[in-house]
Amino acid sequence: MPKIVSININENGGVPKYPVKHAYVGRYRVTGDKQNDLKHHGGENRAVCLYSIDLITDLKNEGHPIFAGSTGENITIQGLDWSSLKKGDVIEMGEVKIELTKPTPPCKTIAKSFINEKFVRISENKYPGWSRWYAKVLQEGTVNLNDNVSLNM
């Protein structure tokens, strides 16, 4: 069963985001997480950023200094088939229900997570299935570390 392995926020904004045991996921953002660039982050269709610990592990095996939260994701999930995700998929975890809105484009703020700062390594356009995902919140609530995650396609 897929589960949450890290919940990540940064009260000052930016990256990396730091682990917490639980967080309230609201309509526009994860409580306690500040976005410094509201043009590209946060808001109704980008309230939550998700990534896969399985992909993070693969990237670490390639030599990248990436870790949960270092690329700005709020929720890091284990055991979900990342390559099958698509816009409109609904994910439930804890009290929360979200809908995937689009792959998250990488930017230079996450460059330190990659060898030679090649942050395009998780670009959906260049490496399909390796991107983080943005989601909108369909049902607000609290998520906890180790909550089960279910995908409703």
| CATH class entry, domain 3-152 | mainly beta
Residue 14 has a pLDDT of 87
- 84 has pLDDT over 80: yes
- 66 has pLDDT over 60: yes
Taking only the tens place, the pLDDT of each residue in 18-51 is 999 999 999 999 999 987 665 656 678 999 999 9
Residue 39 has a pLDDT of 60
Average pLDDT of the residues in 130-149: 98
Domain definitions of the chain by residue range: 3-152
Average pLDDT of the residues in 98-119: 96
**3-state SS string over the chain?**
CCEEEEEEECCCCCCCCEEECEEEECCCCECCCCCCCCCCCCCHHHCEEEEEHHHHHHHHHCCCCCCCCCCCCCEEEECCCHHHCCCCCEEEECCEEEEEEEEECCCHHHHHHCHHHCHHHHCCCCCCCCCEEEEEEEECEEEECCCEEEEEC
Tell me the pTM.
0.95
Residue 42 has a pLDDT of 64
Average pLDDT of the residues in 51-79: 98
Average pLDDT of the residues in 50-66: 98
Average pLDDT of the residues in 96-113: 96
Name the average pLDDT for the chain: 94
Residue 103 has a pLDDT of 97
